[in-house]
Amino acid sequence: QVQLVESGGGLVQAGGSLRLSCAASGRTFSSISRYAVGWFRQAPGKEREFVAAISWSGSNTYYADSVKGRFTISRDNAENTVYLQMNSLKPEDTAVYSCARSTGGTASVRIYDYSYWGQGTQVTVSS
């Protein structure tokens, strides 16, 4: 069973930065290193939405229009970890951020392409 654990969330003022981490644990070293990983977020009363995704090699990345130019997704397969650097944060970025492992190596913006999910980490941006 693949377990994903997010960290790095917190409270930050508008314009600030946070760096989220998504670490894989479990029996298999390659639990995420051979798969695409995505970040999604869900604000209170809203549906979960796509934020960013990265292919298994890191060569391809995708971003939601709302975060493009402010967020950067990256990965360190040696550490079995994926990161989401969030800059110029806005109050509308407030949400629970979750990472998920895709069913394959190609990055996808579609929620149903992801099979393993972390519990999420809260990001709160104050105005």
The three-state DSSP-derived secondary structure of 47-104 is CCEEEEEECCCCCCEEECCCCCCCEEEEEECCCCEEEEEECCCCHHHCEEEEEEEECC
Confidence of residue 29 (pLDDT cuts 50, 70, 90): very low
pLDDT(30) > 90: no
Q: Give the residue-averaged pLDDT of 88-108.
A: 95
Average pLDDT over residues 90-109: 95
Q: Are 84 and 108 in contact (CB under 8 A)?
A: no
**Is there a contact between 75 and 54 (Cβ–Cβ < 8 Å)?**
yes
